[in-house]
Structure 1
Amino acid sequence: MIRRAPLISSALALGVLLAACSDNASKPAGNAGAAQPASPVGVITLNKGSFPVTTILPGRAETFQTADIRPQVSGLIREIVFKEGGEIKKGDLLYQIEDAPYIAAVEQAKAAISKAEASVPSAESNLDRYQRLVGSGATQIEFETAKTTLLQAKAEVESAKAALSAAQIDLDHTRIIAPFDGIIDQTAYNVGNVVSANQTTALTTIRQLDPIYISLTESSTNLLKLRDAMAASDIKGAANVVFHLILEDGKEYNQQGKLDMSKQVVSETTGTFIIRVLFPNPDRVVLPGMYVRATVELGAENGYALPQLATSRDANGRLTAQFVSAEGKVETRAFENSSPSNNSWLVTEGIKDGDQLIVSGLQSITSGMPVKPVPMKITDNGVVVAADQPAAGDAQKPAAN
């Protein structure tokens, strides 16, 4: 009897467990078997169209022209007229050098002219007299001497006039003026300092910022591709290529640039090609030394434009994007070939009209996950907003991914 008790107890326990399992198996599945809910995602509908083909080149801003201001005469600085760091116009007075010695030199030159001119009538009269007396009291030698004297008197007048011109130039150079419009630096000399003609140290520097140069850098290999693309596009000549500028803060500059043909050089050390572009800069938004990016349009191509904010790159460098499949699930597509088109990537294969590209909610989805598409649109500023939302108001606020 003692040995049978454990066996009976084990049999009873096993029976209770099997009954419980049978009861659970007969009940319907609860929340664990429920279908995964569809997550809302923002989408845009793609349609084939003609889009610009662009390329982006890094660059740096440079002044249109720079002038180091140096004195052309020696003397003491009597007056400094400009405001350091201010805007100046061509012909504005910058420095006034003490001009009293130069005024005296001008007056002395004028007196020398008067003195030289006074001897001319006497020499002319003397020549006329000897010319009448030649052969009847005057020798030929005396006549020739009188002629030479007159020529020397007239030469003295011309020499005095040249000395006056030189003195007047020196006097004018006591007024140091701006050679062109621009922005002026601080002065290296103050009132009371003595300066020398053509000294090595500049008084100050003027920089013209409107227009402004943008020096773009590209590898010589890509340059050949760029030229081929230009040749294959509708662009007629390099002078018609239009450049758009992207500033350091990511905003597009509101002026268009034109290719400057005066500087096209391949660096012997880096193998890069420098392209210089000229941009209007009326408000001096672009300053020398700024790092910028320039977008150049090389023509147009038919395809589908995928906004850059909705794309990424896989480990192989291929462009990838998330789409909504016909079954309402996330579908990841990879594209072997893509071309830049402003703020989008232009692709020609792997997409058909009506495909829905996911543009927001990307951080919370995975491939194969069911989603609920919500129509969206992308503003000119690259902001994702609801398709029925007006341009003003919240349209300026970025949508959360």
Structure 2
Amino acid sequence: MVSKRMFLRRLAAGALAVSALFLAACKGQHGEQQAGGGPAEVTVVTLKPQPVTVTRELPGRTSAFLVAEVRPQVNGIVKQRLFEEGALVKAGQPLYQLDDAMYRAENSNAKATLAKAKASLYSAQLNAKRTSELARIDAVSKQDDEAATAAWRQAEADVAAGQAQVESTGVTLAFARIVSPISGRIGKSAVTPGALVTANQAEPMARVQQLDPIFVDVTQSSGELLALRKQIAAGTLKEADGTPVKILLEDGSTYAHQGKLQFADVSVDPTTGSFALRVIVPNPEHVLLPGMYVRAVLDKGTSPQALLVPQAGISRDPKGGATAMVVDKDGKAALREVQVSRTIGDKWLIESGLAAGDKVIVEGLQMIQPGMPVHASETGAPGAAAAGHAAAAH
């Protein structure tokens, strides 16, 4: 019985020894295969400096090019509305007619007074001439001659005053017919026929807005302006001059017409730390209406030696920093910390951390670690696609 147990123990020990030798042989064989596998296949992009237009997308609101609030300049009852709400009106086009019976009467009275003054002037002029002739032969006294001349001058003054009164009442009469001060689209009427309006009232009767062209008012932070000026001063950015501004509508579509930056405000709002920019945009179809939310894409300048890296070549570390894997001079993968500013299309604009000529790995990143030897194929090369597929298969 004892010998049988000993035999089983020895048999088990022998089996364990054989298993250990087999595992060791397999491990050695796998190590030889791994060591003999060669460098990992990756696809790279060689960085080349190129001119890039730097843009900035800013939110904004549209506002009318011209706005005129129509108010009465005289008191009166609205007799008739002479326009269609929402229609286009021309400058000088009649909009409202007030009851002008009283103003016409005043103007007629002023004209009659003027006619009376002109008749008196004619009589005084004849009298002064006759008195002047009699004074030469001493038929009348000098005092009578001077009085006749003074009456003539007084009659002339009365005519001038009468003429001014006619013009004044004529202006008042004309104010009873309210006209559009500008050309544009008129909104709804705030009054109806029969309503009483007063001169220079607070509430406008209607509002006329010129919508072609139209303004887009946007804001930009003062910090961005300072950074932009530093880049221009350093020569890394060339200032844009007269570059069109692209407008994006609220639904994300691009507006058909490009605008132009008209001016930048000279002061910064202390409450927001930003300053205002105004873009003027053609609006012949009246697609843009005052108060609409849009986004303006402004060209800030051109970077003549910009470096662009495909987004696949930039990763983020746990702290949020940007990193890139490059192929160093020894053919090994190396990790670089980089700074990116913005995306341009499907690429990142590099601020620092990479230089022209660097080979940035964009495919095969999941198979490598820093310090590992790699075999790089350029993007677009005949072998690049095959290398990418091979890396994916592994």
TM-score by length of 1: 0.70
Partner of 1:154: 156
For 1:204, the equivalent position in structure 2 comes to 206
Deviations 1:163-182 (A, max 9, x none): 22122212222232222233
Kindly name which structure, 1 or 2, has the bigger radius of gyration based on alpha carbons. Answer: 2
Kindly indicate whether the alpha-carbon contact (under 8 Å) linking 1:229 and 1:298 is maintained by their aligned counterparts in 2: no
Unaligned runs of 5+ residues in structure 1 are 377-401
Kindly provide the CA deviation profile for residues 316-342 of structure 1, in whole angstroms up to 9, marking residues without a partner as x: 665556779999999875423x55586
Query: How large is the RMSD of aligned CA atoms in angstroms?
Result: 4.5
Contact 1:233 1:298 in 2 (8 A): no
- Pick aligned residue for 2:263 from 255, 260, 263: 260
| CA distance in structure 1 between the partners assigned to 2:225 and 2:352 by the alignment | 24
Cα contact 1:295–1:342 (8 A) shared by 2: no
1:51-130 aligned at under 5 Å gives the runs: 51-130=52-131
Provide the C-alpha distance between the structure 1 equivalents of 2:237 and 2:329, rounded to a whole number of angstroms. 41
Structure 1 residue 350 corresponds to structure 2 residue 351: no
CA distance in 2, matches of 1:290, 1:375: 42
Given that 1:57 and 1:218 are in contact with CA atoms closer than 8 Å, whether structure 2 keeps it comes out as: no
Residues 93/302 of structure 1: CA separation in 2 closer, same or farther (3 Å cut): same
Residue number among 304, 307, 321 corresponding to 2:307 in the alignment: 304
Aligned-partner residue type, residue 89 of structure 1: K
Cα distance in 2, alignment partners of residues 330 and 191 from structure 1: 84
| Amino acid in the other structure paired with 1:170 | T
What is aligned with 2:368? 368
- Is the deviation greater in 192-201 or in 100-109? 100-109
| Contact preservation (8 Å) 1:59, 1:291 | yes
CA distance in 1 between counterparts of 2:95 and 2:275 reads 36
2:107 aligned counterpart, secondary structure: helix
Tell me whether 50-59 or 209-218 shows the greater mean CA deviation. 50-59
Residue type of the alignment partner of 2:298: T
Please list, as runs of the form range in 1=range in 2, the aligned pairs for 1:230-269 lying within 5 A after superposition: 230=232, 240-242=241-243, 244-247=245-248, 248-251=250-253, 253=255, 254-260=257-263, 263-269=265-271
Once residues 181 and 330 of structure 1 are traced to their aligned partners in structure 2, the CA distance between those partners, rounded to angstroms, is 68
Superposed displacement of residue 368, structure 1: 3.0
Superposed displacement of residue 355, structure 1: 4.7
Calculate the TM-score normalised by the size of structure 2. 0.71
The residue type equivalent to 2:111 in the other structure is K
**Aligned mates of 1:353, 1:178 — CA distance in 2:** 66
- How far residue 233 of structure 1 moved from its aligned partner, in angstroms, is 6.0
Contact 2:80 2:98 in 1 (8 A): yes
8 Å contact kept, 2:63–2:214: no
Establish whether residue 335 from structure 1 lines up as the match of residue 343 from structure 2. no
1:336-380 Cα offsets, whole Å, 9 max, x none, are: 3x555865525476254595674xx9xx9747399998759xxxx
User: Relative to total residues, which structure has the larger helix share, 1 or 2?
Assistant: 2
Residues 170-189 of structure 1 mapped to structure 2, 5 A cutoff: 170-189=172-191
- Equivalent residue, structure 2, for 1:47: 48
- Counterpart residue identity of residue 105, structure 1: E
- Is the contact made by 1:54 and 1:297 (CA closer than 8 Å) also made in structure 2? yes
Shift of 1:199: 0.8
Tell me the CA shift for residue 63 of structure 1.
3.4
Q: How many positions carry a matched residue from both structures?
A: 362
Once the two structures are overlaid, the 10-residue window that deviates more, 166-175 or 318-327, is: 318-327
State the one-letter code of the partner of 2:219.
L
Q: In 2, Cα distance between the equivalents of 1:245 and 1:113?
A: 63
**d(CA) in 2 for partners of 1:217, 1:84:** 37
Q: Deviations over 1:273-302 (max 9, x none)?
A: 424323123244444352534423334321
Q: Contact 1:53 / 1:301 at 8 angstroms: preserved in 2? A: no
The worse-fitting range, judged by mean Cα deviation, of 293-302 and 189-198 is 293-302
One-letter amino acid of the structure 2 residue matched with residue 256 of structure 1: G
How far 1:104 sits from its partner (Å)?
3.1
Structure 2: any 5+ residue segments left out of the alignment? Answer: 382-394
1:218/1:24 CA distance change after superposition, 3 Å: closer
Write the distance in 2 (CA, Å) between the matches of 1:150 and 1:330.
111
Aligned partners of 1:234, 1:159: CA distance in 2, in Å? 73
Q: Deviations over 1:296-319 (max 9, x none)?
A: 333432132346797676566655
For 1:107, what is the secondary structure of its paired residue?
A: helix
1:192 aligned residue: 194
